[in-house]
Each structure stands twice: as structure tokens, then as C-alpha cells.
Amino acid sequence: MSATQQQEDEIAESVPVARARGLLASAKNHMVLIFVALFLALVWLFAGDNWLLILNVTMVTAIATLGLNVLSGYAGQISLGITFFMGIGAYTAAVLGGNPPVFPGDPVGLNLSFLIWLPAAGIVAALAGALVGPTALRLKGFYLAIVTLALVFIGLYLFKNARSITGGPQGRAFPVPGFGDFTFASPTTVLGLDLSSNQWYFLLLIVILGLVALFVHNVMRSRAGRAFQAVRDNETGAAIMGVNLFQAKMSAFILSSFLAGIAGALWAVYPGSYAEPNTWNLVLAIQFVAAMLVGGVASVWGSILGAAFVFGLPLALDTFSLIPQSTSNTGLTSGDLSAIIYGLLIIVFMLFEPGGIVALIRRIQTRIQRSEQRRKGGVAGDTISTANSAASSE
């Protein structure tokens, strides 16, 4: 990035935006939104199971990425341990919603409704967060990173040993969401439409993700959310401004764990409704960190795009065999190749676009607008006016 360009970007960022922007604000965005909704409706009806699976996985992982973003992106507290809280949420769901044991030694289950176990998954994970938080949040930076990493291993150990809850190393079945006789996992015909399980899950997940995204977006514009961001930017400064550091960090930790718990329950339920304790491992946790960073730190859209990139894209490459299968036994398999691409992308993004995909899109938008303005014969040399108009028309 050239120096002048960087300056322009800084100017564009520093220009105050007059009206508070909602998640989907501005007239232009409304049009975009309608198109997106139409597009999604078409995808939902006609895309087929492969695409829906990719979208659904993206949505579930986007919820967890949002949870991580609350703690690490907005509040600046590094966590490599999100899978611990996902696991807690998942097993809460399993205990509350799972089938009662048939044989002795089967994992427990209370067979409660989906409307109970899904929120409960979040709440119990949040409680776990409240329990761990005071210890973890005394630490900063690398120390916090390594303690949260330790949490993943402690979680794996607990999950493997708590046989009556988790089924031990072999894993256990998870409840399928549904109401009464209806479940999201079984194909049903409604109004002459044959709806597959993936289509039903799509509806469920898009509602949950929508609610979560709106919630996170609004919280971050509230007093509490601003406190999170103040803590991230400068702890001492935030404390001087009257932010209660402990309270702010704890709220972020608890909120993040809550979302992770919900995401964990859904991740265990979809698509397999069966999970082993090893599901909640460090590699998965790091993938969420990658999703957050590649998508965009402290951004709701960034979390969703990041999840699409880190979880959706490899699945798409795999499902549609876009990477040629290697025939020789020494060459790269498709899995290796996507891992290499994944590793390279992380490095490239960290080096060249630390703001993630969201920043990349914003930069392209600004550039397009600028070139449009030049074409219209606007004052090309006057960087401030171009930047101004770019910012206000966003």
C-alpha cells in the first residue's frame, strides 16, 4: 500500500458518519438486501443438498465465529479455547434433549424440547465462562492465549472421562431439533413442496444466525459494547474513562461463551447428530480464530464471511472436487492442497490485509467509487472530498 493511499484510507475512516448505521442500513443497502433475500430464497429452493450443506455449515460456524469475535475481536481478549465452551454447550444439549438411556451404560438424556435445550446450551456454557473467567482474565496476551489453549486440553480430558454424559471416547448421539412430531432432520412435504432436511435446517439456522448477528451488532453499539472496544484499544485509558475493566471483560467472556455454547450444540447436531469428545479439539478452535481474522476482526459481516471462507470453501472444494485428485501416491491429496492453501491464505491475509475480507471489500468499494468520480470529471486531485463522499455514501 502506498503512503498516500494509506493516508486517504485514514482520512476516509476518520470522517465522522453523521447517522448511526444499522447492520443493514441505507437505502442502497435495502436494495442489496432484497436481492440477497431473493437470491437466498432461490438458493434455498433450487440449489440442492450439496450447496445447502455448505451454506448450513457456514451458518453454524458463523455463530461460533461471532462468539469468538465478541471476546477477541471486540474486547481484545485472546482466546484459543472456544471449542471448550462449544463442547459444554453441546453436551448440555445432549443431556437435556437426548434420548433416555435404553441399556445401562448409555449416556443420559432427558428428552426435553428443542426450545429448552438450545437456550440451555448457551446458558450452561455462559455459566462455565463465568466460572473460568475470573482466573483466565487476570492474564493478558500470550499468557491468556496459552491458558485458553490449556482449557481445550482439559476439556478433552473431561469429555473423554465423563462417560455418562459424553458417551466416552466413542461419542454419543445428539438430539435432533424439532417440534412435537416434526423434526428438522426428516424430509417433509409442505404446501406441495418436498422439503429436504437440509432445507429445513437452512431455515432454522438462518433465523438463529440472523438473531445472533443482530444481537451482537446491537450490543456492540451499546454502552457495554463500547466498553469492550475501549478495553481492547487501551485498558488504562478505558479504566480512566470509567469503564469497569473486570466487569467489561467478564461480560464479553460470558456473552462469547453463550454464543459458543449455542454454536456447539448446533455443530454437534448438524449435520451428523453424533459427536466424539475429540470434536472439540484445538485444530477446530484455531480454525475459528482463522475465520475471525480472515473475515475481519470486530465485524459481524466479517465473522460470517470468515466462516464461509474457512469452513464453507474447503467443503465446497471437496464436495465438487474442484481440486484434482492426485493419482500418484507421493503427490498432494486434495486435503493436503486445501491445507496448504489455507495456511498460505492466513499468512497472506495477516501480511497484506490485516482487516480481513471486510477491509478488502471496503477498499475495493472505495476504489470503484473514486474511479467513478474521476470519470464524472470530479476533482480527482482533491483527496479529502473524494474520501468524504466515499465515506458518506457507504
Partner 1 sequence: MAYFIQLAFAGLAQGCIYALVALGFTIIYKSSGVINFAQGELLLVGAFIASVAAFEWHLNFFLAVLIAILVTVLIGVLFERLALRRMIGRPVFAVIMITIGLDILLRTGVVATGLSNERPPATPYSIASGINFGGVHFGANEIWTIIVTLLCCAALYVFFRYTRYGLAMRATALDQEAALAMGINIRTTYALAWGIAAAVATIAGVFLAINVTTFDSTLGGIALVAFPAIILGGLDSIPGAVVGGIIIGLVQLLTQGYESHITNIVGTGFDTITPYLLMILLLLVRPYGLFGTRKVERV
Q: Which is nearer to partner 1, 35 or 157 (CB)?
A: 157
Least distance (Å) from partner 1 to the CB of residue 373?
32
Instruction: Assess contact for 286 and 65: CB atoms under 8 A.
Output: no
Smallest gap, in angstroms, from Cβ of residue 334 to partner 1? 12
Stretch that binds partner 1, among 172-180, 182-190, 192-200, 281-289 (CB under 8 A): 281-289
Name residues contacting partner 1, limited to 301-340 (CB under 8 A).
329-332, 336, 339-340
What's the CA gap between 90 and 43, in Å, rounded? 29
Q: What are phi and psi of 55, to 5 degrees?
A: -65, -40
Q: Is the peptide bond before 271 cis (omega within 30 degrees of 0)?
A: yes
Based on CB atoms, which residue is closest to partner 1, 192 or 242?
Answer: 242
Count residues near partner 1 (CB under 8 A). 47
In whole angstroms, how far apart are CA 184 and each of 57, 199, 219, 262?
Answer: 15, 9, 30, 17
Q: Minimum CB separation from partner 1 for residue 362, in Å?
A: 18
Between CA 199 and CA 184 the distance in angstroms is: 9
Q: How far is the CB of 290 from partner 1 (least distance, A)?
A: 7
In contact, 175 and 269? CB cutoff 8 Å: yes
Residue 81 vs 97, nearer CB to partner 1: 81
Using the rule CB under 8 A, which residue among 56, 58, 72, 256 binds partner 1?
72
Site string for partner 1, 230-269 (x = CB under 8 A): -----xx--xx----x------------------------
Among 41, 116, 350, 384, binds partner 1 (CB under 8 A): 350
- Please name the amino acid found at residue 196: S
**Which residue in 22, 101, 105, 354 binds partner 1 (CB under 8 A)?**
354
**How far apart are the C-alpha atoms of 36 and 174, rounded to whole Å?**
33
Range in contact with partner 1 (rule: CB under 8 A) among 110-118, 154-162, 173-181, 211-219: 154-162
Question: Residue 207: how many CA atoms within 13 Å on its side-chain side?
Answer: 5
Sign of CA dihedral 187, 193, 199, 205: negative
The secondary structure of 287-333, three-state, reads HHHHHHHHHCCCCHHHHHHHHHHHHHHHHHHHHCCCCCCCCCCCCCC
Nearest CB to partner 1, comparing residues 252 and 289: 289
Does the protein bind partner 1 through residue 282 (CB under 8 A)? yes
Q: Which amino acid is present at 386?
A: T
Q: Are 110 and 97 in contact (CB under 8 A)?
A: yes
343 binds partner 1 (CB under 8 A): yes
What is the closest distance, in whole angstroms, from the C-beta atom of residue 239 to partner 1 in the complex?
Answer: 4
Q: Tell which one of 48, 101, 105, 141 touches partner 1 (CB under 8 A).
A: 141
Q: How far is the CB of 154 from partner 1 (least distance, A)?
A: 5
Place of cell 465473522: 303
Contact residues for 306 (Cβ-Cβ < 8 A; gap 6+): 62, 65, 290, 291, 292, 293, 294, 295, 296, 356, 357
Residue ranges in contact with partner 1 by CB under 8 A: 72, 76, 78, 135, 138-139, 141-143, 145-147, 149-150, 153-154, 156-157, 160-161, 235-236, 239-240, 245, 282, 286, 289-290, 293, 297, 329-332, 336, 339-340, 342-347, 350-351, 354
